[in-house]
Structure 1
Amino acid sequence: MAKAPPPPAEPTVTFWGAARTVTGSMHQLTTGNKTILLDCGLFQGKRSESYLRNRDFPFRTRDIDAVVLSHAHVDHCGNLPNLVRRGFAGPIYCTPATRALAAVMLGDAAKIQEEDANYLNHKRARHEPKITPLFDARDVFRTLTKMQAVRYGERFTLSKGIEVTFADAGHLLGSATVHLRLEGPNGERRVTFTGDVGRPGLPILRDPEPIPACDLLISESTYGGHTHEHVDETADKLGEVVRRTIERGGRVIIPAFAVGRTQTVVYFLHQLISSGKLPPIPIFVDSPMANRATEVFRAHTECFDEETLALLNVHPDLFGEKHVRYVETVNESVKLNRREGPCVVISASGMCEAGRILHHLKHGLGDPRNTILIAGYQATDTLGRRLVEKRPEVRVLGRPCPVKAEVVVLNGLSSHADHGDMLRMLGPLAASTSRVRLVHGEPERATKLVDGLKEIGFADVSIPERGETVVV
């Protein structure tokens, strides 16, 4: 007699990325005979470690049926072209703004992959095999053709027994919290993946939408235990930093993520100048990717909050006022380093690991008149983190560089919810959500959020290890 088939298994989630760290977001959801990835981001850190972690997937790429993407930051979407190169053939679901921003982000990521491979090959012994980039522009093109845009609030059927809805996460233009409804052998199961949660009250974007009850909540924990400054205080501090730098004849150099943070900083500077709190000062955005991303922001005003939409009626272009110049060519960028007089230079990458910001730091770090303004999270083992740690000397473009410029950290510009924001958002779910797994946070931060959630009534909260699986 033939054996009866085994009963269908309950849905499971395996945590492959952003587990006890911040970058490389990637979680594998298996339900019935379908396997779905929630995000497919790049792990960021030391080049050699990052290359190996990102190159090799811990599963057969051809077994993945679909990807559901929370937003367009590279630590969430940046390894998608590598997934496609290695055999993934399914659809990638995201919001319209995320699809548009991903085209910008992934094109730039392909260039950085080539630069990183060249750097590592230069350091390798002659007899060692050459390292190839993780992906190239052709892989990016193939990835973009797989992206299917779905608007906030529109429930769609990914496959039989799998329904997905995007809600506004308020973190980045197009960012989404992902709500999944799964039909398992023992009935319906609900999984929510927060992606990155934004801060209530930040300019430009709407606040994060409330999260409904679920069986498994996969939540970010970037700023567990930390309280951000109020947005207005941060804007005032930004003004103070720029003012005192102007007074000593220096320039403010701001490493900023090309997508999201650059537009927020430009918005704040525009408000400070318009209100008379800052004198008119030249502002240079020296990042072709940021320039392209700003065009995407202009095209997707459906993501803006009511205050920003009202301002648009008065100032039709919040990102292109007369004081802001968008630098495109390498020649213009080189001339900018030779420019005399105070100014603000905003350039990428935000963690100072690549891009034109490295040349601005090389020329600016040694001048005590200047200010390096750190306006975003800096991961371990990045140049940005070493600047935050106030090291007297850092290596820039392979050479030692003394740090004589003032280094100022403004965490209040973060687009991530802080500890209190997370507790207020998740608190109403304490009695109705079975399990919470915290990702996208360094262990110390995540542990503090675990403690905070348990104090307000959550029973099953933990921080998964990489490769750990939980049953929904």
Structure 2
Amino acid sequence: MKITFFGAAGTVTGSQHLIEVNGQRLLLDCGLFQGKRKESFELNRRGFCDARSLDALILSHAHIDHSGNIPCLVKNGFTGDIICTPATRDLCAIMLMDSAHIQEQDVQFVNKQRAKNGQHLFEPLYEKEDVVRAMGQFIGISPKRQKEILPGIYLTFTEAGHMLGSANVVLDIYEDGAGDNGGEKEGRGRHRRLIFSGDIGRPGIPIIRDPAQLSEGADILIMESTYGHRSHQPYPDSERELERIVNETYQRGGCLLIPAFAVGRTQQLVYALHKLYLDNAIPEVPIYVDSPLATRATDIYRLHPEAYDREIRDFILKGNHDNPFGFDTLRYTQSVGDSKQLNALKKPAVIISASGMMEGGRILHHLRNRVSDPRNTILVTGWQAPNTLGRKIVEGQETVKVFGEEFPLQAKVEQLTGFSGHADREGLLAWAGAMEKKPSHTFLVHGEAEATQALASALQEELGFSNIEIPELYQEFDI
């Protein structure tokens, strides 16, 4: 077996891991690189494998850093199955179309300057037609239902607890097998279990179920390490802090801007604000979700109650609240005109808008109008990649650039890590520590160097893991 790491190696974006076994090529995730524009532009266009020779793609979840390069793969000749959970398939239908729109806009922006300089014009990484073609190759498999996806390779999804539809990937691989033996596993070659964590969520977070414990363990583990070096604030504390921040901003007469990932984080925040509203813990301040993608994603959340945890099911069934993502003071903007009207608001309000790292989307218009007013608050609830506007705001730079114009950063900046969809150091160790069979090979991905190295040390010293690798981009391993 050979594993090659084509992304999420030394960084948290571009998740792509190629498994070659029994003469077959299987890709785990196919994500976009995000961050610094020029660097990401080049990485996303660099061929990471021969698309035509791939046999199948397994997708852990719908976030763009895991799914966003799928249309490019199909554009380049991939014709195999794209296998994921049903909820992930539905989310990808809207998220990849949104990504295609962004690709087209970005290239249009870059080409204006290149045309002025007489330079060769770029083409989008992919277009909406490529997304339509790609969606025809998706196959949904529900968690806990084992299926042979390629000869000698059996797939089981388990709950990752990260976002709607997210899954750990469990592959039972029978190497050097002899024939299909009537579909039975007996008589196959050597059996090894490979687990790809995808992104691991946090126990106790509302809406989706907790991460599953994979007690049987694995022979080979590919594990994320995003927060391998830090602990999160407990979720209940974050809800209380959200209550404080809403009230303090309201009392200052300001607007609370919450840049939020359209899928996952926005729904968490809406649900938390719904509960605070019902408890009369916050004033009847207007709350706006100003993100077309978030609005469409919320509709998909309503379609998949099978993924809900006990808390939100009780909230719906026992509290007579058939829509946890809607209440009296909440509005979902429907048009560009509705969004523009928010900039004219003179009274306190809460505005939740994408993108979460403040690199695009409607949040930029709200920042341009409100980032220099000390009455306002910018609440950051997710990880911010290096070189993004979000990272610069979190770091407290005196001025920030929005749409190419410098603005003094005078709004109050708050951070809440308790809403994170990623397990922290303790959560990652608990997830790995539940494995009775410790892997003989562990690869740590999806983390910056400090986080990945800290997790590697903890796995070795606290859990007794051995043979831990931190792969570099494009590095190959024969196992």
Q: Distance in 2 between matches of 1:445 and 1:160?
A: 37
Determine if contact 1:430/1:457 at 8 Å carries over to the other structure.
no
Query: Are residues 1:255 and 2:259 paired?
Result: yes
Deviation at 1:123, TM superposition (A): 3.3
Query: Are residues 1:123 and 2:127 paired?
Result: no
Query: Are residues 1:167 and 2:170 paired?
Result: no
Query: Normalization by structure 2: what TM-score?
Result: 0.95
Query: Are residues 1:194 and 2:197 paired?
Result: yes
Runs of 4+ in structure 1 off by over 4 angstroms are none
Q: Distance in 2 between matches of 1:58 and 1:142?
A: 20
> Counterpart in 2 of 1:412?
418
1:252 corresponds to which letter in structure 2?
A: L
Q: What secondary structure, in the 3-state scheme, does the structure 1 residue paired with 2:434 have?
A: helix
Cα shift readout 1:179-198 (whole Å, capped 9, x = no counterpart): 00111136111100000000
Q: Distance in 1 between matches of 2:478 and 2:156?
A: 21
Deviation at 1:122, TM superposition (A): 2.9
Residue in structure 1 matching 2:206, options 183, 194, 203: 203
Residue in structure 2 matching 1:304, options 296, 304, 308: 308
Counterparts of residues 211-290 of structure 1 (less than 5 Å): 211=214, 212-290=216-294
> Counterpart in 1 of 2:135?
144
Deviation at 1:12, TM superposition (A): 1.6
Determine if contact 1:48/1:120 at 8 Å carries over to the other structure.
no
Structure 1 unpaired stretches of 5+:
1-10
Deviation at 1:428, TM superposition (A): 3.3
> Counterpart in 1 of 2:47?
57
Q: What secondary structure, in the 3-state scheme, does the structure 1 residue paired with 2:373 have?
A: coil
Q: What secondary structure, in the 3-state scheme, does the structure 1 residue paired with 2:272 have?
A: helix
Deviation at 1:21, TM superposition (A): 0.2
Determine if contact 1:165/1:180 at 8 Å carries over to the other structure.
yes
Percent of aligned pairs with the same amino acid:
46
Determine if contact 2:438/2:465 at 8 Å carries over to the other structure.
no
Query: Are residues 1:181 and 2:135 paired?
Result: no
Determine if contact 2:274/2:326 at 8 Å carries over to the other structure.
no
Deviation at 1:431, TM superposition (A): 5.0
Q: What secondary structure, in the 3-state scheme, does the structure 2 residue paired with 1:179 have?
A: strand
Determine if contact 1:215/1:435 at 8 Å carries over to the other structure.
yes
1:465 corresponds to which letter in structure 2?
A: E
Number of aligned residues: 462
Query: Are residues 1:157 and 2:148 paired?
Result: yes
Query: Are residues 1:31 and 2:35 paired?
Result: no
Q: Distance in 1 between matches of 2:424 and 2:384?
A: 16
Deviation at 1:386, TM superposition (A): 0.8
Determine if contact 2:255/2:349 at 8 Å carries over to the other structure.
yes
Deviation at 1:462, TM superposition (A): 2.1
> Counterpart in 2 of 1:363?
369
Q: CA RMSD in A?
A: 1.1
Which is further off, 294-303 or 306-315? 306-315
Cα shift readout 1:426-465 (whole Å, capped 9, x = no counterpart): 1133753111110000010011100110112111112111
Which is further off, 49-58 or 218-227? 49-58
Determine if contact 1:69/1:76 at 8 Å carries over to the other structure.
yes
Q: What secondary structure, in the 3-state scheme, does the structure 1 residue paired with 2:236 have?
A: helix
Q: Distance in 2 between matches of 1:412 and 1:306?
A: 19
1:280 corresponds to which letter in structure 2?
A: E
Counterparts of residues 301-380 of structure 1 (less than 5 Å): 301-313=305-317, 314=319, 315-380=321-386
Deviation at 1:63, TM superposition (A): 1.0
Q: Distance in 2 between matches of 1:302 and 1:378?
A: 31
